[in-house]
Amino acid sequence: MGEHPDCALIRRGYEAFIGGNMDTLAELMTTDVTHHVPGESSISGHHKGREACVQLYRRQYDVTGGTLRVELETLAADGRGHVISVHRCRAEREDRGLDMKEGMFFTIVGGKISDIDECHEDIDASNAFWH
């Protein structure tokens, strides 16, 4: 059995993100995509629209001096337009380090990512890192 098409879409998104290819990543999202980041940090909130999401991702790379690394561990689809991913996120920033599991809940509409809900293993640690 091959990979579910929704999982394949998300895998392509991870590959684009990991490779720093924001143009390809943007093509995989709807124009009105929203990425929800939990917590109370400088990156927390609801990033609405393709350009706002790409700006978020570029900012994450910029403030970490390019040290941000994401390692995809697993993908699971429900067959109704939702995919859950689990990955390990590592980064360094000034005198702080980040190393934790994160999860994403993706909604897919018309073969594109329309909504991303991000979950963190330790929201307080994430807040402290991204503050």
CB pairs under 8 A, 24+ apart, for 116-123? 116/33, 116/34, 116/35, 116/36, 116/53, 117/36, 118/35, 118/36, 118/37, 118/38, 119/38, 120/38, 120/39, 123/38, 123/39
Structural domains of the chain, ranges and CATH numbers in brackets? 5-130 (3.10.450.50)
Mean pLDDT of 71-84: 98
Tens digits of residue pLDDT in 42-55: 999 999 999 999 99
- Which pLDDT band, with edges at 50, 70 and 90, does 2 fall under? confident
pLDDT of residue 113: 98
pLDDT of residue 125: 96
pTM: 0.95
Mean pLDDT of 73-87: 98
